[in-house]
Amino acid sequence: MAQGNLGIEPEMLKAIYGQMARIRAVDKAIQAGLSSGKFTFTYWPMTGQECIPATVSQLTTERDYMVTTYRGIHDQVAKGVDLYGMFAEALGREGGLNKGKGGSPHISDPSSGSMVTSAIVGAGPVIANGLAISAKQRGEDRVTIVNFGDGATSIGPVHEAMNLAATWKLPVIFMCQNNQWGEYTPIPEYTASPNFFGRAEALGFRGVQLDGNDPAAFYKGMKEVIDSVRAGNGPVFVEALTYRMGPHAGVGDNYNATKDALAAAKERTPIEKTRALLIDAGISSEDELNAVEAAAKAEVDDAVARALASPVTPASETTVDVFADDTCVPKRGVYPVREAEAELTGETKTMTMAGAIVDAQDVAMAANAEVFLLGEDVGDPHGGTFGTNKGLQTKYGPLRVRNTPISESAIIGAAIGSSIAGMNPIAEIMFCDFMGVCLDQIANHAAKQRYMSGSATHAPMTIRMQVGGAIGGFGAQHSQSLEAWLTHVPGIKVLYPSNPIDAKGMLLSAVNDPDPVVVLESIMLLFTQKAEVPTGDYRIPLGVAKVCREGSDVTLISYGWELHNCLAAAEELAKDGINAEVIDLRSLVPIDYYRVLESVKKTKRAVVVHAAVEFCGLGAEICSTINEELWGQLKAPAIRLGADYAPIAYSREIEMSQVPNTDAIVARVRASMKS
């Protein structure tokens, strides 16, 4: 074949083959290491898909962002991830890209542009949108490419991501590496769709189908796609046709494929085809290609040898990288003394709690152009369902206050991606109950990104959620207090203010915190609580509880709207001669055990009150800690009071009785005093 008929410049074809050779060398080394027992990690082979990232690597740079999946070793190699760091990471070694804490399914290497690797099928596209938002909002010409398999097209977040990207014309490429298998299931068994690229048209943007095994055709098609996206023409969905030669996980051939199908696929493998093409076209000799392959093998062998020599990541690293500040990690017997806020001074204004939340966001957005707000109906004129953003879109514009589709996973994913790129998003989830819709993004991605990456990347984002309960009329799916879900997930900070002053100061602390923070806002308090709130920027430190009422006989510990029931109960108890101290936790993670324990040392009794279901609630954790630490000093065991174990009823009579009220708290304390 003459060189002029190739459809691609000879030097470009050689460069693509060079990357494919490196990918093949990595693949062979891993399979050999696993087969011999030298390696003990899980491997999801990408054998047969080498052409796709090898070609893309010639059209992008380290400035362009990439998100990929646990099967994306080939994507990592072509993106320029350091091979020693990659192997050391897979082996769980100190020298790993991410200190051996993420492993190959969770690689993060911002120096090469490999930002996120997710082991959750279909989770990457919503995060990729956030990276693309950061590039577009900053006026950068970066392109974000998110890789996923054909199997991921069946999951909701992929569609949410595509819809959002199309709506906002984001510079993102949805790269579906269609290897014909959704894990162990062939395409005809999980979808009736004739193709995948056609789904883009249904959502209002362009999709193309390219041959992912033909470097010349794929290069031509991808060059046009990348140039278009880089020029600001919005997203493109690329269905790259290929075939996975290996099993879903492990080594060897794809044992789920028929012999005939596997044999036919082997004849189309891109490495062998490209090698033959280079020789037949007279571009490279056999000796030249042997040298390319030998160099790739030598590079990989050196990386493997050094990775095996790297020390195993020690147990002393266990709680390092959960948060930026390791003292925020709850540890039995370790109770840091954090400095409380200074006395608040300066000009004040009477604000409701809702107004204080608006004011906090206004202060944050005025101070930092990288702060932006996104969520359902957050724009004007409504400013959110409860008006907690009112006027901000008018003041800062639709790019700083973004109305989103009704897509909680897309909202949180976009916040994660943009925060990883260095922005400070505030994502609003209308009701705490809706957290279940996007819990994967919160618990598996936002919470774990710092840890899995060994602090190579982190997510400085804020999530605001409104919490119902004891209001009446909202019912079981709009009234739950679900803080215990969040406090059980390492890597998420959780705040629950009870008044306008704290609501503003804690939200400002959250926006400026280096870690993901969830702020729970009680609907009951949004318009019933008013206070003189400082008009400027001030911070309520996280992890610092506050004594709201001093006492000597019993400590009532609470947060959010139940704090006010505790204060009312304290006044009622005073009529019986019982002097109750009331502590507002304010911050649930990090938690201020120091001030709690100091109070209970004085009063010798404690009752923890929360609106959440009592069974397995946060009160059980706090009572357990008090009882363990102060056993022998207490006059009675620390006890808890929470909601009955039932969904919140629509019936107002039931709801008002199933969630702790003032009378219930008084009765619980009186019972404790008899011990």
Catalytic positions, written as ranges:
478
* Alpha-carbon gap, residue 398 to 403, rounded angstroms: 8
Q: Give the CA distances from residue 62 to residues 28, 66, 442, 456, in Å, rounded to whole numbers and listed in that order.
A: 26, 9, 27, 15
- The CB-side HSE value for 503 (13 A sphere, CA atoms) comes to 31
Phi, psi values for residue 642, rounded to 5°: -135, -170
Core vs surface per residue 39-61: b (16+ CB within 10 A) or e: beeebbbbbbbbbbbbbbbbbbe
Structure tokens at 152: 């991921």
Peptide bond into 381 cis (omega under 30): yes
Half-sphere exposure of 592 (CA within 13 A, CB side): 25
Q: How many whole angstroms separate alpha carbon 304 and alpha carbon 87?
A: 6
Q: Which of 581, 505, 587 is nearest to 547 (CA)?
A: 581
> CB-based contacts of 32: which residues, under 8 Å, 6+ apart?
38
Q: How far apart are CA 355 and CA 503, in angstroms?
A: 10
Closest C-alpha among 108, 52, 62 to residue 85 = 108
Query: Which stretches of 173-214 are DSSP H helices?
Result: 198-202
Query: What does the alpha-carbon distance between residue 27 and residue 83 come to, in Å, rounded to a whole number?
Result: 12
Amino acid (1-letter code) at residue 86: M
Nearest to 373 by CA among 401, 406, 353: 401
Interatomic CA distance for residues 557 and 609, integer angstroms: 6
HSE-CB of 466 using CA atoms within 13 angstroms: 26
Q: Which two tokens stand for residue 150?
A: 């054909």
Other beta carbons less than 10 A from residue 192's beta carbon: 6
Q: At how many degrees (to 10) do helices 286-309 and 270-280 cross?
A: 140
Q: In what order do the strands lie in the sheet with 114-118?
A: 114-118, 65-69, 144-149, 172-178, 236-241, 206-211
Task: Give the largest Cα separation in the chain, rounded.
Answer: 100
Measured CA to CA, the distance from residue 168 to residue 234 in angstroms comes to 8
Q: Quote the CA–CA distance of 213 and 625 in Å, as a whole number.
A: 59
Helix (H, G, I), strand (E, B) or coil at 368: coil
Helix, coil or strand: residue 237: strand
Question: Which of 88, 109, 106 minimizes the C-alpha distance to 448?
Answer: 106
> Are the beta carbons of 470 and 662 closer than 8 angstroms?
no
